[in-house]
Amino acid sequence: MKKYPNPKSPSSSKNAATKKKTDDPKPVSFFDVVYKIARKIPKGRVTTYGAIAEAANIKLTPRMVGWAMNGAGNATPAVPAHRVVNRIGELSGRQFFATPTLMQELLEQEGVTVKNDKVSDFKNVFWDPGKPKTATAKKTVSKKA
């Protein structure tokens, strides 16, 4: 498996070539990066393959994220792959779950409404992994007030 440098580490900068190899953190696979982002998706929210690809910041394409999500069932700790949908809210990965309806059932258990294999209120339940937590927290507080 090809290894990618950790995009958040200082060693991924332009000066990384001048540093000693012992200073470099252990390279991570794109699977690790994708799963780390997916594990942050809050319950009752969804995100897209493209949003994860953009947040990963390592030139991933949405298709590569989908490929990683296909293998998420074997990941430890668990990855909430049911919370990742396509760019228009469709449950495009549903065929990779144990049953054809499991993805929908898991989302509905978390309060996400799904109709005809599509998240009903997609814009309101969409979670952007690229936005800082403080912006999300402020938005949540303002809704309660």
Question: 32: part of which helix (H) or strand (E)?
Answer: helix 30-38
Please indicate, yes or no, whether the overall pTM of this predicted structure exceeds 0.75: no
Confidence of residue 131 (pLDDT cuts 50, 70, 90): confident
The whole domain housing 92 covers 28-126
Rounded distance between C-alpha atoms, residue 46 and residue 38, angstroms: 10
Note whether residue 14 is domain-resident: no
Note whether residue 136 is domain-resident: no
Note whether residue 20 is domain-resident: no
pLDDT in tens, 56-108: 988 879 999 999 999 999 999 999 999 999 999 999 999 999 999 999 999 99
**In the block, residue with structure tokens 């809210």:** 89
Note whether residue 99 is domain-resident: yes
Higher pLDDT, 5 or 69: 69
Note whether residue 6 is domain-resident: no
Residue 32 Rama label (left phi>0; alpha psi -120 to 50; beta):
alpha
CATH code, domain carrying 38: 1.10.10.10
Structural domain tally of the chain? 1
